[in-house]
Amino acid sequence: MIINTNKSWEFIKTEVTGEKKNVAVITLNRPKALNALCNGLMKELSTALKAYGKDANISAIVLTGSEKAFAAGADIKEMAPNTYSQCIQGNFLNDWTEVARTQKPIIAAVNGYALGGGCELAMMCDIIYAGDKAKFGQPEIALGTIPGVGGTQRLTRVVGRSKAMEMCLTGNMINAQEAEKVGLVSKVIPPDQLLVEAVKLGEKIGTHSNLIVQLCKEAVNTAFETTLEEGLKYERRFNHATFSTIDCKEGVKAFIEKRPAKFINE
Ligand code: CAA
C-alpha cells in the first residue's frame, strides 16, 4: 500500500524524503493548539503510520512537530467533558497504542514541548532525538488526572522509578540535556539541524535489511516485556531465524567479499 502524500490532511503533514526516498516524515500540524493531540489528529497519525508501515519503499519514519511544540499533550478541551463511564465504554486512549504497534522504526524528532500525551507519544517511538530547547514532562497531575498512555509505565522503564516518580508527581518539566542524561533522549541537536539529523538516522537504518531491522526492533522491545531469561531465549530464536533469510546470507557474503551488501528484504 503506497500512501497518497498529496492527500489533504487536516492535522498532520506527510512527506517522503532521503536520497533513496525511503524515509517518511510525519509532521504534527496543529500549531494554534501547540499540536494538542485531538482525536482527529490521532486518527490521521494512525492512518499515515499504517500506510507507511505497509509501504515496502519506506525503511523508517520520522515523527516531528513544530519548533515550539512536538505536542503539548492530549487535547484538554476535548477531554474536558469526559466521564468515567464514557472513558470505560469508549476505552479512552486505547487506540493511541497503534503508534507503538508500528513495525517499522519510528524516530521522534522533538523540538519544544513534549508534555503529557506528547511525551508519551515520543516514548512510543523507538528513538528520540531532541532539539536543545526541547522540554519533556508529565503535567497531568496538575489537571487532577494521571498519565494515560505510558507516562507512568514507559517513562519508569526508561528513566527509573525515582525520576519518573518525580516527574509524574510534580508535573515539572525536564530539559533536553537532562532528558539525554537520564536516557530518555539519545541525542541533543541544535533545533534547526534536528530534522536533518533524524532523517539521516532513518537513512542509516534504511541501508540495512528492512526485514532484519523489523526483527531487531521486536527483539529490543521484548526487553521491556519479559524477564531476562525469556528475553534472551526470544533473542536467540530471532538470531537463529535470521540465518534462514536471503539478506543474512548476502550480508555475510558481502563482508567476506569486501563489498557493500545488496539487501532485498527477504
Ligand atoms: N490541549 C488543548 N489545548 C492546548 C493544550 C492542550 N494540551 N496545550 C496548549 N493548548 C492551547 C492553549 O489552550 C492555547 O489556546 P488558545 O490560544 O485558544 O487559548 C494555545 O494552545 C497556546 O497555549 P498557551 O497560551 O498556554 O501557550 P504558552 O506558551 O503560554 O504555554 C504550555 C505553553 C506550557 C505548553 C501550556 O500551553 C500548557 O501547559 N499546556 C498544557 C500541557 C498539559 O497539561 N498537557 C497534558 C495534557 S493531558 C494528557 O496528555 C493526558 C494523557 O496522558 C494522554
Distance 34 CA to ligand 1 centre (A): 7
Catalytic residue selected from 117, 131, 202, 206: 117
- Enclosing domain of residue 66: 2-206
Catalytic residue selected from 51, 65, 140, 198: 140
Distance 173 CA to ligand 1 centre (A): 14
Does the annotation count 51 as an active-site position?
Answer: no
240 and 146 within one domain = no
- Ligand 1 atom, smallest distance to 77 CA: 2
Whether the full predicted model's pTM is greater than 0.85, yes or no, is yes
148 and 195 within one domain = yes
Does the annotation count 120 as an active-site position?
Answer: yes
Residue 262 domain flag: no
Q: 261: which 3 cell numbers?
A: 551488501
Residue 261 domain flag: no
Distance 154 CA to ligand 1 centre (A): 22
Nearest to 174 by CA among 141, 220, 130, 227: 130
60 and 44 within one domain = yes
**Whole-angstrom Cα distance, residue 90 to residue 210?**
36
Number of residues written out for the chain: 266
Whether 129 lines ligand 1, by a CB cut-off of 6 Å, is no
From edge to edge, which strands make up the β-sheet containing 135-137? 69-71, 113-115, 135-137, 174-175
Domain boundary residue among 176, 191, 206? 206
List the chain pLDDT tens, one digit each, 266 residues.
455 555 789 999 999 999 999 999 999 999 999 999 999 999 999 999 999 999 999 999 999 999 999 999 999 999 999 999 999 998 999 889 889 999 999 999 999 999 999 999 999 999 999 999 999 999 999 999 999 999 999 999 999 999 999 999 999 999 999 999 999 999 999 999 999 999 999 999 999 999 999 999 999 999 999 999 999 999 999 999 999 999 999 999 999 999 999 999 99
